[in-house]
Amino acid sequence: MLPLQDGKNAEKRRNIDNLIAELREKSVLLKSKLNPKVLSLIGDQVRLMNCYYSNLIEGHPTKPKDIEDALKGEFSNVAETRDLQLEATAHIEVQRTIDYGEHGFEEIVSEDFIKWIHRAFYENLPESLKFVVDDKAEERIPIIPGEYRTRDVIVGHHIGVPYKDVDSFAHRFCSAYSISKLGRHEQVAAAAASHHRLLWIHPFLDGNGRVARLFSHAYLKEIGVGSDLWSVSRGLARDSEKYKRMLAKADSERDGALDGRGNLSLFGLQEFCIFFLQCCIDQIDFMGRLIDQDGFLGRIEAHTNVLIAKGELHPKSFKLLSCAVKEGEFGRGEVSEIMGVSRALASKTLSELLKRGLLQSIDKKAPVRLAISEEAKEYWLPGLFG
């Protein structure tokens, strides 16, 4: 499995170092774009987006609306669609647990944590998605949630490590990429390298791609670079052919004396790390543009004006939405003052916005916050699923 880090080739190392510095800087700036309460709302949408793109990589295209419906407990009567909805909710729940730090693991670079990702995901899948088919043996092989594979596998051109050696490779993996053993700079490089090496080991019978992406999400978050505001899965899915090529390059055996000193290609791993870090930066840039407060408010205002022109909202509705974005929340008693209208008209306008799903409140006495309806998402967060 060596090399485990990206090596000391001067040119590529310099490139990787620059990308690491840029990634750290931009990840910090992203968290200051909007009020924290609004950022939490954006995080809900990003988890949905992450699931959508991760499904695409797996060849399981799920419509965003189907995922939204599933999160509300509304499942399709079509078995195939319903199964994909259940798969989506399982993925989102695992990521939500990671994002909120509710998994209970102090050390995420551990076999227990990696097995937990697999188990937490697969335990909530329908039975139709809990097996793989061995075409040669003409048998269906059940997937045991959270358990390493007990047979050898070939994935495309890649031969997974012998199943009897998975334990020892996984142990070496966790030792090499342990966050506590690495400096801050090394941690970011390790986030990229470990993504490939986990897939290279291929510890589970199925679900390795999804586990690797969720593991990388957790790793980036743990080292203070990742957050629930962006997802590398979107970048990997949008350039899936290059993603596969870069993985294959990093799978390659060492090519001569200049290509590192391990069994695998150092150049291949470096190329993959560069690609992975570029994807991370690209996605932070994308989300940074999307949640920049001025731009975000501008799109909300444009959408509100469309609804006002149709006679569906009061002309001063945007004042409430703007306040929710800037302040995070407001009390119901403040609505009249914010809008500059009578209490009766303020109450009516608020009701319209709540009913339309543009604002939300847990009850009639609780503060009011921003909400993002399915209709609004298209206008407020364009390109999230495109």
pLDDT tens digits, 212-244 = 999 999 999 999 999 999 999 999 999 999 999
Q: How confident is the model at residue 13 (pLDDT cuts 50, 70, 90)?
A: confident
59 is in an annotated binding site: no
Q: Out of 118, 202, 217, 303, which one is annotated catalytic?
A: 202
Residue 321: closest CA among 348, 300, 295, 305: 300
The question of whether 202 is a catalytic residue gets the answer: yes
156 is in an annotated binding site: yes
Residue 247, pLDDT > 70, answer yes
Q: How confident is the model at residue 20 (pLDDT cuts 50, 70, 90)?
A: very high
Q: How confident is the model at residue 7 (pLDDT cuts 50, 70, 90)?
A: low
Q: What is the pLDDT of residue 156?
A: 84
Q: What is the pLDDT of residue 8?
A: 61
7 is in an annotated binding site: no
Residue 111: closest CA among 68, 81, 147, 83: 147
Tell the CATH topology of 10-291: Fic-like fold (1.10.3290)
The DSSP string of 19-72 is: HHHHHHHHHHHHTTSS-HHHHHHHHHHHHHHHHHHHHHHTT----HHHHHHHHT
Q: How confident is the model at residue 5 (pLDDT cuts 50, 70, 90)?
A: confident
pLDDT tens digits, 248-288 = 999 999 998 888 888 999 999 999 999 999 999 999 999 99
Domain map (residue ranges) of the chain: 10-291, 293-381
Tell me the CATH architecture of domain 293-381: Orthogonal Bundle (1.10)
Mean pLDDT of the region 41-60: 93
192, 236 contact by CB (below 8 A): no
155 is in an annotated binding site: yes
43 is in an annotated binding site: no
